[in-house]
């Protein structure tokens, strides 16, 4: 049975309420076109403005606007919703009685949250690779580790849309993560992102297509795409890539939605004809 994937592209700003209103409209647009799975971009709810910790939420805590928004949208539309990233101030797999439950140094985790069609949280993935680099643009220096604490767990989860492997933005440069997702049986890999315009123009498409080829999976990438302030510009080009590296759908700049169908028989045929998983020699 085919499933339709939708990648939502946004140009998020400092106003969380406006960002979520914009996201809701784009989710509704994707659902109206038949989406079974909707992916939001990285930092969809808050990209610029206040320190990220001011938006930080504890996982599953009542009164958490970003998480409640995501759960409500998934439930309202009856779709699998992957919430780009949300800033979570609690660590996964712990409760309030555990000493390490809260991140105490003022940082948060960039958490990609997967909700089922009933609005139930299926999985949480915390971005492992943090973007601490120099880029030849107006911002020049990016230091995510000052704002975010890195995650450490590789996450793959079953859903009604297929088996999903989770990643975020800068992760795309680290093929060992995707090889682990391949080993865990990922059929679809999600890449919510806020790639810079400079690095996006140079590497975005090449990296996405390479990860799809290497791991024989559908790859869905939802990006930020536009100007967010005087020094921040993101590349956009949200796309869905087939296991044979075909770009099935793509959006250049600005807010919008791209959709494409998965074909499980095609996926099985590619893996049968070229059994990469059986040929791996280095681990």
For residue 132, give the CATH number of its domain.
Answer: 3.60.110.10
User: In the annotation, is 205 catalytic?
Assistant: no
Active site residue 127: yes
Average pLDDT over residues 242-249: 98
At a CB cut-off of 8 Å and minimum separation 6, what does 252 contact?
A: 225, 236, 237
**Would residue 233 show up in a list of annotated catalytic residues for this protein?**
no
Instruction: Look at residue 5 and give its three-state secondary structure.
Output: strand
In this structure, the strands spanning 3-9 and 37-39 are parallel
Question: Active-site residue among 4, 149, 169, 187?
Answer: 169
What average pLDDT does range 169-189 have in this prediction? 98
Q: Which domain holds residue 260?
A: 3-279
Angstrom distance (rounded) from CA 221 to CA 151: 20
pLDDT in tens, 93-151: 999 899 999 999 999 999 999 999 999 999 999 999 999 998 888 777 899 999 999 99
Q: Which of 253, 266, 258 is nearest to 240 (CA)?
A: 258
3 state SS of 115: strand
Distance between CA atoms of 150 and 111, rounded to whole angstroms? 10
pLDDT over 90 at 50, yes or no:
no
Selecting among 127, 144, 233, 253, the annotated active-site residue is: 127
* Number of domains comprising the chain: 1
Distance CA 177, CA 170 (A): 11
The token duo for 9 is 């592209």
Q: Is the pLDDT of residue 18 over 70?
A: yes
């Amino acid at each position: 049975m085919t499933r339709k994937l939708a990648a939502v592209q946004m140009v998020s700003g400092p106003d969380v309420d406006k960002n979520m209103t914009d996201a809701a409209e784009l989710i509704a647009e994707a659902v109206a076109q038949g989406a079974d799975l909707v992916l939001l971009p990285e930092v969809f709810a808050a990209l610029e403005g206040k320190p990220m910790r001011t938006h930080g939420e504890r996982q599953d805590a009542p009164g958490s606007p970003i998480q409640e928004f995501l759960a409500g949208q998934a439930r309202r539309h009856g779709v699998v919703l992957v919430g780009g990233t949300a800033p979570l101030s609690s660590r996964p797999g712990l409760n309030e009685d555990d000493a390490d439950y809260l991140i105490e140094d003022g940082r948060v985790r960039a958490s990609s949250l997967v909700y089922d069609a009933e609005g139930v949280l299926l999985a949480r993935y915390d971005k492992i690779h943090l973007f601490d680099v120099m880029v030849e643009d107006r911002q020049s220096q990016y230091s995510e580790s000052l704002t975010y604490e890195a995650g450490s767990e590789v996450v793959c989860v079953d859903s009604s849309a297929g088996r999903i492997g989770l990643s975020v933005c800068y992760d795309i440069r680290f093929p060992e993560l995707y090889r682990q997702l391949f080993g865990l049986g990922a059929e679809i890999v999600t890449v919510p992102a806020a790639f810079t315009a400079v690095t996006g123009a140079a590497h975005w498409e090449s990296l996405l297509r390479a990860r799809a080829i290497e791991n024989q999976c559908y790859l869905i990438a939802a990006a930020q795409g536009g100007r967010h302030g005087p020094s921040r510009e993101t590349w956009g080009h949200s796309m869905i890539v087939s296991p044979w590296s075909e770009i099935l759908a793509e959006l250049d700049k600005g807010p919008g939605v791209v959709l494409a169908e998965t074909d499980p028989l095609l996926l099985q045929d590619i893996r049968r004809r070229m059994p990469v998983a059986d040929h791996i020699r280095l681990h």
